[in-house]
Amino acid sequence: MRLAGKIIIVTGSTTGIGKAIAKRCVAEGARVVVHGLEKDWGQSILDELGTDNAVLHIEEISNEGTPDRLVDLAVKTFGKLDAIVNNAAKVASSDIHTTDKPFLQNIIEINTIAPFLLTKAALPHLTKTRGCVLNIGSINAWSGEPNLLGYSMSKGALMTMTRNLGDVLHRENGVRVNQINPGWVLTETEIKRKKEHGLKENWYEDIPDTYAPAGRILWPEEMAAAATYWLSDESGPVSGQVVDLEQHPLIGRNAPKNTTTINVKK
């Protein structure tokens, strides 16, 4: 039980990576606040985890006051707060021509500002427990794909915030802040998104090895396994770190030529 007794908020946990993290946290002995937009999906997860181990909150993360309500729910239900996982995010295609001011403001509000505000709301409680923050970024933070400009900008900002707060909050509050940057992950929404882009029904079974040397892309459960380390006491005093989780190097890679291009999203 690597997370025994810990109370953890996992945003965006009604589906995908967040759902896998919430389930892994409970399996490791924690109790969680499940959060998202899909009430029926959230209720299904709550039924699976049990009301002794989880509580559900359905609300857009960027709404005014949502961070405070999530923190209050965790403390009121379970008595304390040990960690938050900032996973909720909006993935939307855009480039220099299609990224206007309202679009950019919206995606940064959800992907960058909301995690900051939740961290700020949780800080007094995390200080008491010498807890931690885990931000879920994306490998697109390093530069991003041509059609993921706004999304990549928001994840780049999140990465800078992680490094900044990982230093300041660790020294001043005893709170660690780290980040994992998932590569291409086979979530429910990613399967649906690629079908909408015109790929075949079982597109994930035949991916060019330039994107998947292992013959498959990553699974949400593998992200959850990595998250467990950062949420547990095993990571010790490590703070302000950003770790890429992909099956090939992103910088300096000699990618094979003449390969089919597939837009990759977290």
Active site residues: 151
**Secondary structure of the chain as H, E, C letters:** CCCCCCEEEECCCCCHHHHHHHHHHHHCCCEEEEEECCHHHHHHHHHHHCCCCEEEEECCCCCCCHHHHHHHHHHHHHCCCCEEEECCCCCCCECCCCCCHHHHHHHHHHHHHHHHHHHHHHHHHHHHHCCEEEEECCHHHHCCCCCEHHHHHHHHHHHHHHHHHHHHHHHHHCCEEEEEEECCECCHHHHHHHHHCCCCCCHHHCCCCCCCCCCCCECHHHHHHHHHHHHCHHHCCCCCCEEEECCCCCCCCCCCCCCCCCCCCC
